[in-house]
Amino acid sequence: MQNRAESAPRYSLGDLKDLLTRVNCGADLVLAVQEAMTLSGSSAADYGGALYGVYWYLTDACERLETAIDTMMQKEGAAV
């Protein structure tokens, strides 16, 4: 039977770089939605779905990044 540490997912610096790229893409999405809201002439209410989607995208990316960092810190024996 494996202990918890052995069965935990393993992350690398490459994984962290990928997750950081996702967060940066999410920031670009926020800018794109803001520009569309400003330049299109549509009402702000028309962009609720887009903003909600970006929110969930960024929330997921941040949660994954936090999990990866916590896992790597535990592996190194650092306090989380």
Instruction: Express each pLDDT in 45-55 by its tens digit.
Output: 899 999 999 99
Mean pLDDT for the chain? 87
Within 8 A by CB and 6+ apart from 64, the residues are 19, 22
- 4 pLDDT band, cuts 50/70/90, is low
Q: What is the pTM of this model?
A: 0.75
Residue 59 has pLDDT above 90, yes or no: yes
Distance (Å, whole) CA 70 – CA 57: 20
